[in-house]
Amino acid sequence: MTALTLESRGGLARAGRLHTAHGDIETPVFMPVGTQGSVKGVSPDELTAAGVQIALANAYHLYLRPGAPLIAAAGGLHAFMGWRGSILTDSGGFQVFSLARLSRVDDEGYHFASHLDGSRHSFTPESVVALQAALASDIAMVLDDCAPAGIDEAQARQSAERTLRWAERARAALTPSVQLTFAIAQGSTYEPLRRMQCRALRALDFAGYAIGGLWVGEPRTDGIAMAAVCCEELPQEKPRYLMGVGTPEDIIECIAVGVDMFDSVYPTRCARHALALTSSGRLNLRNAANARDLRPLDEQCTCLCCRQFSRAYLAHCFRAGETLAARLVSIHNIAFLVQLTRAARCAIVEGRFAAWHDQQLSAFAADRKG
């Protein structure tokens, strides 16, 4: 059985159904990030109520704490987290990249010091396959060499070629399983490298493909252009996942070039800074104008926060230092991005995606100017 069933198209945008061991997922889809096996401040039941179909957890962090053996003893990550939906685990490559001062990379893999206690560890393509099998996630990512923005083409080529060799090793290490494994395309902002990488990975016939190494400091327009290049090259019948992208504008633009899946800490990070995402743009709850505004965050939203609480109440809670405020806005922001991708799907299916795309982007463009 293929991992993805495509149901409709709107230009390059796609509506589909991703098949996992814990149920089908309607795409396009946004995945909230639970780095440590927990989406910050939001319970599994609240994620379900917000419409979340699939959440992301971090193999690097779970490997260090509490460790894969304990999670396996609990019955796998779903049981450990108390989450009934699907789970994608990333390989930990980006975390090692982001903690570069503690790590080094060679052709064998990553060698790093724990950011918790300084103990030494290594990740190889094979060990990361085994780690995620022990976690029993629905979707596992191969180990990749994530290069920083601004590197020259020779450095980007070295990173891309290493990523390809690691993907080949990971593919050889896979055993028959219901777990889907995705490869990751690298190549920085160099179009020929991106095309070469995608074609080579395509030949390895993974269940799905991720686009990595973008939104790490390069210009946004370059990121969108490289996502479009990868979508041109990756298999039409396989899911495409753009890693670490979560602003409404970027999600809308990248759905338009053919991306199916997104993840980011953006909605919960915004919430902790009193920033709410709404259909008319971003709303800063620390602004004085919200102190007496008894409207919900977004009158079009049906989430728990918008059904029960006003902007004035949330603004009060932020000023008073109440942690409930960040929790409620996190729930709303996640629900907003879930609803955004569902609206995109509906527009694709109904043949009006181009108009929807332009309308949505105009609201956030006005927000940026305001």
Which helix (H) or strand (E) segment holds residue 253: the answer is helix 248-256
pLDDT tens digits along 126-154: 999 999 999 999 999 999 998 889 999 99
3-state SS of 347-363?
Answer: HHHCCCHHHHHHHHHHH
Residue 369: per-residue pLDDT: 47
> Which residue among the candidates 90, 138, 145, 250 is catalytic per the annotation?
90
Show the tokens assigned to 206. 């993974």
List 144, 145, 260, 263, catalytic entry: 263
Nearest to 137 by CA among 17, 213, 6, 31: 31
**Percent of residues, the chain, with pLDDT higher than 70:** 98
Beta strands in the chain (DSSP E): 4-10, 13-20, 23-27, 29-34, 54-58, 86-90, 103-105, 110-113, 120-123, 139-141, 180-185, 208-211, 240-242, 261-264, 275-278, 281-284
- Given a contact cutoff of 8 angstroms between Cβ atoms, the answer to whether 237 and 281 are in contact is no
Kindly report the backbone phi and psi dihedral angles of residue 99, in degrees, each rounded to the nearest multiple of 5, phi listed first: -110, 40
Which residue in the block uniquely carries the two structure tokens 């902790």?
A: 272
Query: Confidence band (pLDDT; 50, 70, 90) for 365?
Result: confident
d(CA 360, CA 256): 12
Average pLDDT over residues 76-94: 95
Least confidently predicted of 146-150, 237-241, 346-350? 146-150
How much is the average pLDDT of 164-170? 98
Q: Given phi > 0 = left and psi -120 to 50 = alpha, else beta, which region is 195?
A: alpha
Angle in degrees, 0-180, between the axes of helices 191-203 and 153-173, rounded to the nearest 10: 10
Q: For residue 176, say if its preceding peptide bond is cis, omega within 30 degrees of 0.
A: no
Decide if 205 is catalytic.
no
Please give the distance of CA 6 from its chain centroid, rounded to a whole number: 20
Q: Is 255 helix (H, G, I), strand (E, B) or coil?
A: helix
Answer yes or no: 263 catalytic. Answer: yes
CA–CA gap between residue 35 and residue 59 (Å, rounded): 8
Nearest to 354 by CA among 203, 207, 239, 253: 253
Partners of 54 in the β-ladder: 86
> What is the mean pLDDT of the segment spanning 248-261?
98
Sorted by where each starts, the structural domains of the chain and their CATH numbers stand as 4-264 (3.20.20.105), 274-369 (no CATH)
Burial (0-12, 13-18, 19+ Cβ within 10 Å), 283: buried
Q: What is the pLDDT of residue 226?
A: 98
Token representation of residue 303: 């989430």
Q: pLDDT value at position 370?
A: 40
What distance in Å separates the CA atoms of residue 353 and residue 340, rounded to the nearest whole number?
12
Q: Which tops the pLDDT comparison, 1 or 183?
A: 183
The predicted-structure confidence for 194-216, as pLDDT tens digits, reads as follows: 999 999 999 999 999 999 999 99
pLDDT(172) > 90: yes
